[in-house]
């Protein structure tokens, strides 16, 4: 009797395990069925093209094309597939130098748009401005050109030329630029009258945070009593570097929160016990991404006065995921929020004091206003 019970129990256990496993498998198959079917369809397309296309095409070329199409289907100009050449250039750029004409471009209202020219580069010297729309590159219409393709076409060997057709308002302008090696020094500064320090940040790369701290300490030794931080035409860059900069004047607490699609929140904070001096921050339509993190933190905490015009409005976070030794995907993985939980993506940040910069740059009225504000607080 005891043996029969043991056998019965064993059979029952096997049956229950089988049914549970089967139910789980069927549930997963039902959940994944559309994904599995889509994957099979992609593999089938690869097989058909490889076997039947009129010319032989390397599998690597077909796979690269399928990955690029996949990323492009997101309709997110900040998510990009980077082949070996693009990835190498991207890594060089974040380290502080790259080849090209020195303009940072993005997509705004589905149009290829100059986010900001970089100081001292062929683009800036030729007179290209933030907000300019690039309608042609070497005579080719950019209407259906992906952002990464446009970047590739504008960049090229040092000494070679590229022709850009720009739409500025209702006016069309033609520029022929000679490419050069772009070396970026991101931080520059000096002491102005009344012990007001001035620091300009051109963009945020791997050296920006430390360079800013060194420049700030240098000015403090000269008797700094207040600070103008110039973020105009700063297209952004690395999030961690923007937090380093903001933490030098934003008081203890959140600088920026990064929120993923599942609601996970990662908050980057300042440990500064208290603000040391008044700060005025200059911004405009070319102030984007990491610049807006600094500006938003200063505005929300009340430690800084924003002066100029509305910022660009790029409030998303990208990470670079390597696919192999050569290629990678730069993918939007989250949105960021200011200390007061504002999302500025596609909206931008309105300055506390709006000051338009006139076309004739005989006088920097935005800087003049910043000096006026700071003098009133000293």
In angstroms, the CA 189 to CA 199 distance is 4
CB 106 within 8 A of CB 314: yes
CB 304 within 8 A of CB 328: no
Instruction: Using DSSP bridges, classify how beta strands 140-141 and 133-137 pair: parallel, antiparallel or unpaired.
Output: antiparallel
CB 228 within 8 A of CB 280: yes
Residue of 314, 327, 330, 369 with catalytic role: 314
Q: Which of 231, 276, 24, 7 is nearest to 115 (CA)?
A: 231
Give kind and range of the element (H or E) at residue 89: helix 84-95
Q: Which of 374, 120, 344 is nearest to 227 (CA)?
A: 374
Helix, strand, coil % in the chain, rounded to nearest 5? 35, 30, 35
Determine the 3-state secondary structure of 106 from DSSP.
strand
- 363 forms beta bridges with none
Residue of 226, 247, 289, 327 with catalytic role: 289
Residue with tokens 């369809």: 41
Determine the 3-state secondary structure of 175 from DSSP.
strand
Residue of 300, 327, 330, 369 with catalytic role: 300
Q: Could you write out the DSSP letters of every residue in 256-271?
A: EEEEETT--EEEEEE-
In angstroms, the CA 118 to CA 34 distance is 46
What is the four-CA torsion angle of 241, 130, 342, 316, rounded to 10 degrees? -60
CB 179 within 8 A of CB 151: no
Q: Is 314 considered catalytic here?
A: yes
In angstroms, the CA 352 to CA 308 distance is 8
Determine the 3-state secondary structure of 316 from DSSP.
strand
Give the DSSP letter of residue 118. P
CA dist list (Å): 311 to 140, 245, 274, 302, 354: 30, 18, 27, 18, 11
Known catalytic residues are 289, 300, 314
């Amino acid at each position: 009797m005891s043996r029969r019970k043991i056998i019965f129990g064993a059979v029952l256990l096997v049956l229950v395990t089988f049914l549970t496993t089967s139910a789980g498998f069927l549930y997963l198959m039902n959940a994944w069925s559309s994904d599995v079917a889509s994957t099979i369809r992609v593999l089938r397309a690869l097989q058909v093209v490889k076997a039947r296309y009129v010319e032989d095409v390397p599998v690597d070329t077909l796979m690269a094309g399928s990955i690029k199409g996949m990323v492009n289907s997101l309709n997110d100009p900040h998510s990009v597939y980077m082949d070996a050449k693009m990835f190498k250039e991207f890594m060089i750029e974040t380290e502080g130098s790259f080849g090209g004409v020195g303009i940072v471009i993005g997509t705004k209202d589905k149009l290829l748009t100059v986010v900001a020219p970089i100081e001292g580069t062929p683009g800036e010297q030729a007179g290209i401005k933030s907000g300019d729309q690039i309608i042609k590159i070497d005579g080719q219409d950019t209407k259906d050109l992906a952002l990464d393709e446009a970047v590739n076409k504008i960049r090229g060997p040092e000494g070679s030329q590229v022709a850009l057709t720009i739409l500025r308002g209702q006016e069309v302008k033609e520029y022929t630029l000679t490419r050069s090696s772009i070396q970026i020094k991101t931080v520059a500064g000096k002491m102005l009258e009344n012990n007001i320090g001035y620091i300009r940040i051109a963009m945020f790369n791997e050296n920006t945070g430390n360079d800013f701290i060194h420049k700030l300490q240098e000015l403090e030794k000269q008797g700094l009593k207040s600070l103008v931080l110039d973020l105009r035409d700063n297209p952004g860059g690395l999030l961690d570097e923007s937090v380093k900069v903001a933490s030098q004047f934003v008081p203890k607490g959140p600088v920026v929160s990064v929120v993923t699609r599942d609601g996970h929140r990662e908050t980057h904070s300042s440990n500064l016990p208290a603000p040391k001096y008044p700060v005025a921050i200059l911004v405009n339509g070319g102030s984007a991404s990491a610049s807006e993190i600094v500006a938003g933190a200063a505005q929300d905490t009340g430690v800084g006065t924003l002066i100029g015009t509305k910022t660009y409005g790029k409030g998303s976070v990208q990470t670079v995921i390597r696919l192999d030794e050569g290629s990678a995907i730069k993918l939007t993985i989250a949105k960021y929020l200011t200390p007061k939980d504002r999302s500025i993506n596609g909206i931008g940040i309105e300055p506390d004091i709006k000051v338009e910069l006139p076309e004739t740059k005989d006088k920097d009225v935005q800087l003049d206003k910043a000096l006026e504000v700071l003098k009133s607080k000293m």
